[in-house]
Amino acid sequence: MQIDIITVLPELLESPFSHSILKRAKQRELLDIHVYNLRDYTPYKHGQVDDYQFGGGAGMVMMPEPLAIAIEKLQEKIKYDEIIFLTPDGETFNQPIANQLSMKQNLLLICGHYKGIDERIREHFITREISIGDYVLSGGELAAAVLVDAVGRLIPGVLNDETSALSDSFQDNLLAPPVYTRPADFRGWKVPDILLGGNPTLIDEWRHEQSVKRTQERRPDMKAE
């Protein structure tokens, strides 16, 4: 999979993609991430990419021309399955969306800044708009990092144990069950006996019951079964 990102602050994305699982995914050539500086594509002096909004009002708007140039230049080299704008008013990102996107081959992410991007870019280039939550960030870079991490870990071969992702929270519309490790008795706090019994069937049943219980208690909006 290849994920390209257009941003005005590429340095914000250096660390998230240089460590842990995403670093391993790149080293194994399972995930290719390219970050492009929007200022490299602007025809305006001093790297200008934003201007005052028509009609007045506080806050600057990212201009259409630099974005259009950047997107079209990248499209000359690659055909994108989705061109995604990270924005607070997009559809809320969740595990099913991450699963969908992990099946794609090429994604282009647009990181907004200021008051957002010119609406004409959204109308003519963007194929999907995604929000990571009902709050506003200073820019789309952190949202892009969240999306890439959530999607990248689902690519076959990225995780050492591919079944691990299948038991994550939200995969089956359930929260994950409690987990324990050694020692079995810590300060008198003991691991449930069933996990020490070695019966896979009973353990699976217990874990499912715990997932349902936890989901009902903590996320009643989810239909736990």
> Tens digit of pLDDT for each residue in 103-141?
999 999 999 998 999 999 999 999 999 999 999 999 999
Nearest to 103 by CA among 125, 81, 131, 74: 81
215, 175 contact by CB (below 8 A) = yes
158, 31 contact by CB (below 8 A) = yes
Rounded mean pLDDT of 207-214? 94
> What is the percentage of the chain residues whose pLDDT exceeds 90?
87
More confident position, 170 or 202: 202
Residues 99 and 129 in one domain: yes
At residue 167, the pLDDT reads 55
Confidence of residue 172 (pLDDT cuts 50, 70, 90): confident
At residue 170, the pLDDT reads 66
113, 50 contact by CB (below 8 A) = yes
Number of domains, the chain: 2
Residues 23 and 66 in one domain: yes
Residues 119 and 210 in one domain: no
Confidence of residue 222 (pLDDT cuts 50, 70, 90): confident
Last-in-domain residue among 126, 152, 178: 152
Residues 94 and 47 in one domain: yes
d(CA 101, CA 127): 13
Domain assignment present for residue 87? The answer is: yes
**Alpha carbon 108 to its chain's center:** 12
Domain assignment present for residue 57? The answer is: yes
pLDDT digits (tens, 9 = 90+) for 43-99: 999 999 999 999 999 999 999 999 999 999 999 999 999 999 999 999 999 999 999
Q: Domain range holding 71?
A: 2-152
